[in-house]
Amino acid sequence: MKKGKLIVFEGLDGTGKTTQIKRLAEELRRRGETVFVTAEPTDLPSGQLLRRVLSGEVPGTPWATAALFLSDRIRHCTDPDNGMAKHLAAGETVITDRYYFSTFAYQGCETDLQWTMDMHYRCPELLRPDLVLFLTMPPEKCMERITANRPAEAIEIYENTAALTRISRQFDIVFALLKEKENIVYINADGTIDEVAARIKAAL
Ligand code: TYD
């Protein structure tokens, strides 16, 4: 079924994933590829509920939040109108801003990492990525960027230096564990937009 390539961007909030995804999509389109850019949480009802949990408006336990992310992700893959599987089947390159590695990192350190991995790797409705670009940057620097770009009331539950430091360590643990299983490239995201874009282009 899957014909196109699935590229995943991962990294802490504030590493510049959105900007770099835009740049990469432009680059691939120049090369003649049809590119579909997407993100998690999705804009589907499951993703809208997650946004309310992330803002602190709706209470959620870490375990329930992890399960909600899985549910939103299955929908992200399989949605008949705009799901990633449909775009891949049409031969498009799909780039997603976050995927299951975010659940391993963000919810994995608050629940049970193995449980979060099992429920994803044992789920036949999820797509496997062809390439994972992991944007790395010190958590303090991420926090500087987050607070510079947003009003205080728009800061989400994980967007504080203590949480980001813990999640950063968890990302390192996760990607070390998965180095044989997934195609992961580390990208140093501490640099200008052009510098980081050049690193991504070289990695491709
Ligand atoms: P993010 O990509 O940062 O969106 P935005 O830039 O619009 O805020 O994602 C929102 C938050 O969701 C971010 O703090 C990370 C968190 N998240 C998880 O905790 N688990 C997940 O599985 C995913 C996909 C995101």
Sign of the four-CA dihedral 79, 185, 145, 139: positive
In a domain, 172, yes or no: yes
- What CATH number is attached to the domain comprising 199? 3.40.50.300
Q: What is the mean pLDDT of residues 113-121?
A: 98
Confidence of residue 81 (pLDDT cuts 50, 70, 90): very high
Non-local CB neighbours of 92 within 8 Å, separated by 6+ positions: 4, 33, 34, 35, 36
In a domain, 86, yes or no: yes
The helix/strand/coil state of 125 is coil
How far is Cα 148 from Cα 78, in angstroms, rounded to an integer? 36
In a domain, 161, yes or no: yes
pLDDT for the residue numbered 157: 87
Domain count, the chain: 1
In a domain, 144, yes or no: yes
Distance, CA 48 to ligand 1 centroid (Å)? 12
In a domain, 1, yes or no: no
Q: For the segment 137-175, what is each residue's pLDDT rounded down to a tens digit?
A: 999 999 999 999 888 888 888 889 999 999 999 999 999
**Mean pLDDT in the chain?**
96
ω before 41 within 30° of 0 (cis)? yes
Domain residue limits at 53: 6-203
Q: Taking 90 as the threshold, does the pLDDT of residue 48 lie above it?
A: yes
In a domain, 98, yes or no: yes
Q: Is the CB of 38 inside a 6 Å radius of any atom of ligand 1? A: no
Distance, CA 55 to ligand 1 centroid (Å)? 11
- The predicted model scores a pTM of 0.96
pLDDT for the residue numbered 152: 87
In a domain, 119, yes or no: yes
The ligand 1 atom nearest the CA atom of 13: 3
In a domain, 146, yes or no: yes
Q: What is the mean pLDDT of residues 22-36?
A: 98
